[in-house]
Chains A and B, each alone.
Chain A
């Protein structure tokens, strides 16, 4: 059977080979090259690009990026879990409607959605004009181009990545296990904490990784909603390729970011697995 079905993997492997592994190889090679005076790539080996990363400027941007990504993940989890729980508990026919509502934003171009937020939040935007016309404020509130706006945009964009996997794991959970917990004297809150939460952990893990990885490389949201002040590592990389024309340094930053993601996800899994092994109720 395995021999006969392995051909099914060929299209996927070819696709990944051409559009993932080869570009990755190119980026890796580029990251060890030098930049010429006019922005061209000079093919001589150097580690300079990696050394340059340790400039406090870039390290602090990376640190900011990590803070934003971790916060985005936590906020998405805090908003996404209750939402997924609510959806999973309702009538089947309503579940489909709600899941559709969660996914509909995906159908509209990402850039358009980000600019829609600008229209809503800017100084003469919908929110400020409305509040002013009510006489609640005299000066427009600074709603855009700050840290809060970036967080709002990030969580808004990435929330479905959290909701969907958590919904799936809640949906698959055997409700009788919850009844068993009640039967053994667990209050609804304790039953949730000791049974529902651990049993939906796979959904939480998947959702968190999807949101975290997506937010760590995000450059559109901070660009459009964060303004010049809140550059994240994604913006720096984008700049190296498009504005600064320093492809080798951009490549090096990409590789560092990727390695960092791999290490963090690995550590995350380690922590999760240790918790699983300990299991039980304290």
Chain B
């Protein structure tokens, strides 16, 4: 549990506009940390500051205890996988992957050994002589990853690496990336706006909004105990009930739907079903609460439940006290 990257009071301004207000963050060696947030929340800027492509306006960044704010990108012992791969179009797959080792003048026998290793790891051995233009999006992404990991960086930075790929391919590569990270033991800092991706891969997630880290925690903590309204709304589906000065969040799977006459002692609110959506294993039940026209509550009900819910039906809803999260 050793800190590998330490951001200390780091702030970023663009043209006198504060994009990221001062904050501190410690990243633990070997962990898979995801920076998650909507576009424009500052996650990519934060990543580029770590990589050395943006200079913090103030504060300091430490890599392995050494300050690196004034170290140029080409001297930092970490590598970035770019969003649109940024492969060198005039070089073959092999030459792309070897670029880093050649820049560092690694002996050629060592180059060859590591190349073969990485090609096997990323399933690119057959494609080694091709040019990037002759590869599919997923293959290009593999080359971009291979080109970075061959350098044995202390930290691998990934900027929405799967963003441009289709759904199925993304699912497969998520698994591959997670396995790669486990096998190599390298610290991954992963930027994405896709919360599902963040949940399925990360050890810890930093949820960002408007330049601020709203919450830092494990996927479970983030999902079950959101610490702010933004996190509660951004991660997964949620029902937010406004109270006087605060909010109450209850996940749809925690909401129980009852027939109007059954168990009235468990009802916390009553309403009318406006829509039912069948999604295979579960059905989504949308309920308009009595007394307020806008509030629609979403409940997830098991599809095999004994009662088939119908739109227009009067119902009561309830939840267990431990399933509600109080938010400021």
Contacts and interface: CB of A to CB of B under 8 A. Distances in A.
Interface of A: 174, 176-177, 179-188, 190-191, 194-195, 198-199, 276, 279-281
Interface stretch (B76-84, B113-121, B294-302, B316-324): B76-84
A158 B147 CA distance: 42
A183 B92 contact: no
B86 A182 contact: no
B95 A184 contact: no
A188 B72 CA distance: 10
Given A279-B92, A279-B95, A185 B86 contact: no
Given A179-B53, A183-B74, A184-B151, A190 B91 contact: no
Interface of B: 51-53, 72-75, 79-80, 82, 84, 86-92, 94-95, 98-100, 102-104, 147-148, 151
A174 B86 contact: yes
Contacts, number: 73
Contacts of A195: 88
A266 B272 CA distance: 79
A184 B99 contact: yes
A184 B103 contact: yes
A186 B95 CA distance: 14
Given A180-B87, A184-B151, 16 more contacts: A174-B86, A176-B82, A176-B84, A177-B86, A177-B88, A179-B73, A180-B82, A183-B80, A184-B103, A185-B74, A185-B100, A185-B151, A194-B88, A198-B90, A280-B92, A281-B98
A276 to B, nearest CB: 7
A186 B96 CA distance: 13
Contacts of B80: 179-180, 183
Contact of B74 (A176, A182, A199, A280): A182
A281 B91 contact: yes
A179 B82 contact: yes
Contacts of A199: 89-90
Given A176-B84, A179-B53, A186 B99 contact: yes
Contacts of A190: 103
A183 to B, nearest CB: 5
Nearest to B100: A184
A279 B90 contact: yes
B86 A180 contact: yes
B72 A182 contact: yes
Contacts of A174: 86
Contact of B86 (A179, A186, A191, A281): A179
A193 to B, nearest CB: 11
B51 A281 contact: no
19 contacts: A176-B86, A177-B89, A179-B80, A180-B80, A180-B86, A180-B87, A183-B73, A184-B103, A185-B103, A185-B151, A186-B99, A191-B74, A198-B90, A279-B91, A279-B95, A280-B91, A281-B91, A281-B99, A281-B102
A187 B147 CA distance: 17
Contacts of B86: 174, 176-177, 179-180
Nearest to A184: B100
Contacts of A281: 91, 95, 98-99, 102
Nearest to A174: B86
Q: Which of A186, A194, A280 counts the most B-chain CB atoms under 10 A from its CB? A: A280
Given A176-B84, A281-B99, A184 B147 contact: yes
Contacts of A179: 53, 73, 80, 82, 86
B103 A186 contact: yes
Given A174-B86, A199-B89, A279-B90, A182 B73 contact: yes
B61 to A, nearest CB: 16
A17 B88 CA distance: 42
B275 to A, nearest CB: 45
Considering the complex of A and B, which 10 residue pairs feature the smallest CB-CB distances, nearest first?
A184-B100, A280-B95, A180-B86, A185-B103, A176-B86, A182-B73, A182-B74, A198-B90, A186-B103, A183-B80
A83 to B, nearest CB: 24
Nearest to A178: B86
Contacts of B100: 184-185
A153 B160 CA distance: 53
A88 B92 CA distance: 28
A276 B99 contact: no
Contacts of A181: 88, 99
A178 to B, nearest CB: 9
B90 A180 contact: no
B95 A183 contact: no
A187 B105 CA distance: 12
Contacts of B103: 184-187, 190
A278 to B, nearest CB: 10
